[in-house]
Structure 1
């Protein structure tokens, strides 16, 4: 039995390019999955905080945060959001709602994805949080809101709350970040394939189809 390809993905919940990259990865793997000898792939998500000093309840819009964080004008921030929204829609079929987005600190969301991973639902939890944040304008930084999202994917709400309130999975978040530093990752999304190939940025779906086929062929040797 051939071992599956392992794709480790470093991303941040609040990174618009990470959601585009996630969807492009899924779409690219779906195409490869139609091959007669379809690649078997395991995808694992890892935590990366782009702005760890962000408050849980940021006072302002997404554009306000972008302007402050990058030192640009509010007009430039709106233009950047418009550009990424168009790419998200055209490349990945995602309809971002920066107008209702609630910018927040993402560490608790990352902790929740590790809790979900231990219960076999990391992929579902990651998708649910990103969808809630980018498409629905829901808050993903507060424990109450995260527990509600956990329950939506079938996780036990009381157990999720206990994990978040106790910081039980904060060491796992920090371990991911330390591993990213070891790899020299300083921007996300970043994909590590089989521990030896690095792919930076939200590459188009076709790129992921190609790499899946190439690496799967290497597994057959």
Structure 2
């Protein structure tokens, strides 16, 4: 039985990037179908995080985020793009990529661009370059973002996450009937997948 999995995440959430690595290690070779679900932690016009100038955020990075990443073997850098960009455009790009069966590749590229390369994923030109790197048509992609072609699709995705799925924090992994909030080790995901497969 193919296990259905939904992963709610945001591109500027370090815990999402860290959790993604352990999750993807856990699902290798398994009969699963993963759907990536957009979730904006701070949608416009909410105040943007400015971690470079916020001592509490730097402290959290040093004491919580970095040690967790090191423990799980994830290469992550403190993002010097500050304030953090809104992620609505990046997610509209994801919907475009998904249409062309490149959603997963795009997701991975955008996360890496922000947390490993310090790129500003709020800028259309940067997102277009990333889209091209995963094999998407840059001109079509840029036109879709400039024309806000997927604006309503993204609004609906957020409505689903906030109201229907009742997601309050990310990452959240929904594996069949099992909900795993936050970063988890590979074994936790493997156990949840195994339990779902045994239900048939």
C-alpha distance in structure 1 between counterparts of 2:123 and 2:65, whole Å: 26
Written as runs of structure 1 = structure 2, the 5 A alignment for 1:1-221 is 2=1, 4-30=2-28, 33=29, 39-53=30-44, 62-64=51-53, 67=54, 74=55, 76-82=56-62, 83-91=64-72, 93-98=73-78, 100-102=80-82, 103-180=84-161, 181-194=163-176, 196-218=177-199, 221=200
Give the direction of change, closer, same or farther, for the CA distance of 1:47–1:99 in structure 2 (3 Å limit).
Answer: closer
C-alpha distance in structure 1 between counterparts of 2:50 and 2:155, whole Å: 28
SS in 2 for 1:123: helix
SS in 2 for 1:7: strand
Work out the number of aligned pairs and report it. 196
TM-score scaled by structure 1?
0.82
C-alpha distance in structure 2 between counterparts of 1:99 and 1:182, whole Å: 31
Which of structures 1 and 2 has the bigger CA Rg?
1
C-alpha distance in structure 2 between counterparts of 1:51 and 1:162, whole Å: 25
Instruction: Quote the RMSD (CA, aligned, Å).
Output: 1.8
SS in 2 for 1:192: strand
TM-score scaled by structure 2?
0.90
Q: Deviations over 1:147-169 (max 9, x none)?
A: 00000000000110011111111
Structure 2: give runs of 5+ residues left out of the alignment.
Answer: none
* CA drift at 1:174: 1.4
